[in-house]
Amino acid sequence: EVQLVESGGGLVQPGGSLRLSCAASGFTFSSYGMSWVRQAPGKGLEWLSGISGSGGITYYADSVKGRFTTSRDNSKNTLYLQLNSLRAEDTAVYYCANEGVATKSGVFDIWGQGTMVTVSS
């Protein structure tokens, strides 16, 4: 079964750091680009970052550039998001998502269940 499972969310103080993980199974992880998307409570979806299958290319939204870092370990079939200098407005459910290939490259056809990050003192 194709599956993405996020972990690592929780309560963190403003200015703090957190690392999220996304464990993949059921597909050839290294063949696919991956992304992180978040959703603040009651709000819409916001794409944050993407990474190529090899991990050699990364992309970031302006809102998180310089604060968040995406990486992957293909030997462990795991995607990571390092969140630094966290702010209250970073409070959200964080999803990892698999990007498709060919005409679906950039399309999120597999999503994890999400992990909640709360930034509060």
Binding flag, residue 114, another protein (CB under 8 A): yes
Q: Residues 24 to 83: which contact another protein by CB under 8 A?
A: 35, 44-47, 50, 59-62
- Would you count residue 95 as binding another protein (CB under 8 A)? yes
CA-only gyration radius of the chain, Å: 14
CB nearer another protein, residue 42 or residue 75: 42
Q: Is 100 a residue that touches another protein (CB under 8 A)?
A: yes
In the complex, what is the shortest distance from the CB of residue 38 to another protein, in angstroms, rounded to a whole number?
11
DSSP-derived pairing of the beta strands 10-12 and 115-119: parallel
The single residue among 23, 27, 55, 111 that binds another protein, judged by CB under 8 A, is 111
- Distance from the Cα of residue 77 to its chain's centroid: 14
Nearer to another protein, 42 or 121 (CB): 42
Q: How far is the CB of 103 from another protein (least distance, A)?
A: 5
CA dist., res. 27 & res. 110, Å (int): 11
Half-sphere exposure of residue 33, counting CA atoms within 13 Å on the CB side? 18
SS3 track for 61-112: CCCCCCCEEEEEECCCCEEEEEECCCCHHHCEEEEEEEECCHHHCCCEEEEC
Interface residues with another protein (CB under 8 A)? 35, 44-47, 50, 59-62, 95, 100, 103-109, 111-114
